[in-house]
Structure formats: C-alpha cells, structure tokens
Amino acid sequence: MTVLVLTHRADLTADLVVLALEQMEVPVLRLNPGDTGRSVELDARFDNGRWYGRLAFKGRELALSDICSIYYRRPTTWTGPEGMSEAEAAWAAEEVRAGFGGVLMSLRQCRWINHPRLAMWASNKPIQLEAAARSGFEVPATTVTNNGSRAAQFATKHSPVVYKTLAGTPRVEGGAIYTTRTTADEIRTEAEAVSYALHQFQQEIPKRYEVRLTVVDGRMFAARIDAGSDPARLDWRRDYDSVRLSVIQVPAAVEQSVRRFMDHLELVFSTFDFIVDDQGRWIFLEANTNGQWGFVEQDTKLPIAAAIAEALTKGGTT
C-alpha cells in the first residue's frame, strides 16, 4: 500500500513527511494534480460500482487500489499550455479538479489528511468560532458585518479591536493583510468601504504570549511563541525573525476542547492559534486545517512529520 502526497515540488514541509515515510520504508508517490497533462496522468474507469485505474508520474505508476492514504498538502492550480484563452484554461482547470478530486475522493479505502471537503468546511472562520465555543474554548468577541456603523459600535464597546480577514489575503504579488489594530473612528471613516464586503472585527486580547498548537491524529505538539517586537506582538507573521518558539504543555482543559473540536469537524490534522493572557487563559483565535508546521518542527524539534507519517500509515478511511 502506498501513501499519495498531493503537493507542489517546492513544498519543503511535505519533504519532511516524504522523508519520514521513506525512513519507515513506506512507499510514497508525490505528485501535483496541477501538473496533469505535463507529467501527471490519471487513467480511471468506473467498473462494478467503484473506481479503478492508475496514476502515473515521471515513470512511476500507482494503481488507485494501492492507495492507502492521501496527504493533501499544497496541490496547485492546473495551468494549461500557452495559447489557451483564459476561459478555456479556467474550464480545463475545473475539469482537472473535478476529475482528480472526484476520483480520489471516491476511493473507499483511503484515509485523508485532511479530507478536502472536511478541511474546507472547517476552515471557515465563522464556523470555527461556533465550533470552538461549542467545544469549550474561550473565544474573543467577534463581529462579521458590512455595516460600518455597527462595526464602529462594536469597536467602541470592545476596544481595542483588530481587523482580521475571513478568507485569507488578496492573491496578488506582495499582497498581505495581517491582523490590524483599528478603532471606531477609523471604521467610521471607512464605512463606505466596509459596506462593500463582509469584514471581521475582533476584540483584541492582551497577550502574554501566543501558542501554535499542531494536532496530528490526536497527538498534540504545542509551541509557545514569544514575539520580540511590537509588530510581531500584534501578528507574529509581521516580524518572523523576532519570534522565538519553545515547547509548551497543553493544559488538560484545552486539550479536551481541542479533541472535541477535532471530532466535531472530523479533522485528523489542524493547527490552532491561541493567545495566552496574563491569567494564563488560552483564548482560541483560529484553527488552520492545512496550517504550516515545518517551522515549528524546525525550531522545537517536535516530531510532527513523523506523527503525520504514522497517521498516514495507520489505515482506516476518512
């Protein structure tokens, strides 16, 4: 049985898992569905109620029936050969996505980390907050609105507040929207802009430090994040070089909530971001169902890659 890793070639974090699987002498096929038509081939047939066939990539072949688990990391968008119109390329990309995704997600024997359908559901921030509260986490006061006046009222009531994106940042070069502190006055000034789309504002929790928790199949790997600069204290991605990571234990109550959250959203893997306040309370900020963890392993030596590799070889279905 073989582990299928779906990601692009420059994904160093996935390299760690491939290497761990290699160490365990588990066969791996790593490919990027986005390379279909260039170096990747999928040939599947529906017969007797299930999908059969093979994947091929650079001289390697894998029968679909031999796939025991799929690590869904960073597959990229299919891009067609030069000369296709934008509309043709978009349509073809959808065909690749539907074909690859449909066939692979129909394989009954596979365990996914994570199943894309579940990961997609769980990555939605409003859904996460509800699931987090239900799981027993403390969560910051939050509003999602395109009403500038209401947003300003929220900011007045819960000051200080931050603006956080709901679905990532603009996909343009150089685009990045970090967690940003804002005020009721600023929101009023930008009320018209706020009205054009949904915006998420959240009470800013004074923090002693942050925690990045990585959960793999029930195992927890927690890293304390101490920010060494003001920008990093607001959002540690702003000044990564000033950040220091160290191993920290997860309190039992938090661990219990994490397990409830993972079960509720049917996740095998997720990272979590917490703020730990002066009273030592762990406040849930968000979960990233396909969050990065390579830098955590690198800094703390927590054996996350090995845990993922073990989970991929465990069997079972998602």
Partner 1 sequence: MFETNSFAAAQVPGVGISAAIATPSTFGAQRTTATATVMKPVNGGTYDFDRQVTVVEGAPLAHQVAERTPYNTVYDSQEFTDREA
Interface positions, 222-281, toward partner 1 (CB under 8 A): 236-237, 240-241, 271, 273
User: Is 138:282 a contact under the CB 8 Å cutoff?
Assistant: yes
Kindly state the smallest distance separating residue 175's Cβ from partner 1, in Å.
6
User: Is 72:6 a contact under the CB 8 Å cutoff?
Assistant: yes
Q: Which is nearer to partner 1, 152 or 163 (CB)?
A: 163
- Chosen residue from 40, 55, 78, 224 binding partner 1 by CB under 8 A: 78
- Chosen residue from 92, 93, 133, 144 binding partner 1 by CB under 8 A: 93
Q: How far is CA 171 from CA 35, 79, 167, in A?
A: 20, 16, 11
Please tell me the distance from the alpha carbon of residue 236 to that of residue 243, in angstroms, as a whole number: 7
Tokens of 55: 């994947």
User: Is 193:264 a contact under the CB 8 Å cutoff?
Assistant: no
Tokens of 135: 């799981």
- Determine if 27 is a binding residue for partner 1 (CB under 8 A): no
User: Is 277:207 a contact under the CB 8 Å cutoff?
Assistant: yes
Q: Which is nearer to partner 1, 148 or 291 (CB)?
A: 291
Q: Name residues contacting partner 1, limited to 123-152 (CB under 8 A).
A: 123-124, 127
Q: Which is nearer to partner 1, 79 or 153 (CB)?
A: 79
User: Is 77:34 a contact under the CB 8 Å cutoff?
Assistant: yes
Site string for partner 1, 45-64 (x = CB under 8 A): -------------xx-----
- Chosen residue from 54, 74, 259, 264 binding partner 1 by CB under 8 A: 74
- Determine if 167 is a binding residue for partner 1 (CB under 8 A): yes
- Chosen residue from 107, 140, 164, 232 binding partner 1 by CB under 8 A: 164
Q: Which DSSP state fits 36?
A: B
Stretch that binds partner 1, among 45-53, 94-102, 143-151, 252-260 (CB under 8 A): 94-102
With CB under 8 A, what is the number of residues at the site for partner 1? Answer: 78
- Determine if 197 is a binding residue for partner 1 (CB under 8 A): no
User: Is 116:75 a contact under the CB 8 Å cutoff?
Assistant: no
Q: Which is nearer to partner 1, 135 or 289 (CB)?
A: 289
Q: Which is nearer to partner 1, 66 or 273 (CB)?
A: 273
Kindly state the smallest distance separating residue 129's Cβ from partner 1, in Å.
13
- Determine if 174 is a binding residue for partner 1 (CB under 8 A): yes
User: Is 194:146 a contact under the CB 8 Å cutoff?
Assistant: yes
Give the phi and the psi of residue 316 in degrees, each rounded to 5.
95, 175
- DSSP letters, 244-260, are EEEE-PPPHHHHHHHHH
